Structure 1
Amino acid sequence: MTILITGAAGRTSGYVLKALLASDNVKPADLRLLVRSEDAIQKVQFRHQQLPRSSFVVADYLETSTLGPALRGVDIAFHNAPGFSPLESAMGIALIDAAKEAGVKHLVYCSVLFPVLSKLLNHDIKRV
């Protein structure tokens, strides 16, 4: 079973990654970690030295040519969109479309809680 975690260098996805690595049922080889830069790979590997470079894929949420290969062979995908991005919806749709195309069996979509609270831009943008 292969599990993809998007935004693997971020706080929320970092908690998911930590929990999975602590599980007896998941091994580092079961994980594919989507990040947006080589710097992000170094950041995650510093925290989780058991993760080989081969666990990582650099992709752009809005570039389908990078999402397809990232999702190929994935059974479960955990998607946590970048915070405060006005393009969060487009990124989510692109990821969902790529996941369908790749045959991902299960998708967990993590997004903001209480988007009706408009004091934060990333909340307000979702009400449009």
Structure 2
Amino acid sequence: MATDEKPYGQERRRHHRHGSYMLIPAGVLLGLGIGMLAGYPGSGVLIGLGLGFIGSAVLAQQRSAQAGDEEAPRPRGFLAVIGAFLVIVGLGVIWAPLNFWPYLVALFLILLGVWFLYRAFSHR
């Protein structure tokens, strides 16, 4: 028999690790349904998608910390940042005035640039 087969525990851990990303489509569908009931289906999708990204990032980080993998856990902060931005955009479509959007997008892009600079220089 082949000796390079993966043990059952590794295969199971890999399966559960990928299961955390199922929160994203679940969030989209829940957001769409709730948004349709509230009369804002587009905003509901954005909010649900954002919450799915945030939940996926949190769950993946918790699982990698609990599993104690030999490999270093990858940071999931970028997924949470994208999720927070989508939630803000979804809420902003409902409540924010139109002249607020250029400032919100500019602020997000500035923070994203700072994040990239931090990531680039913190690993040296």
TM-score by length of 1: 0.26
Flag the structure with more relative contact order, 1 or 2, with Cα contacts below 8 A and sequence separation at least 6.
1
Task: Report the structure number with the largest CA radius of gyration.
Answer: 2
Richer in helix (by share): 2
TM-score by length of 2: 0.27
Richer in strand (by share): 1
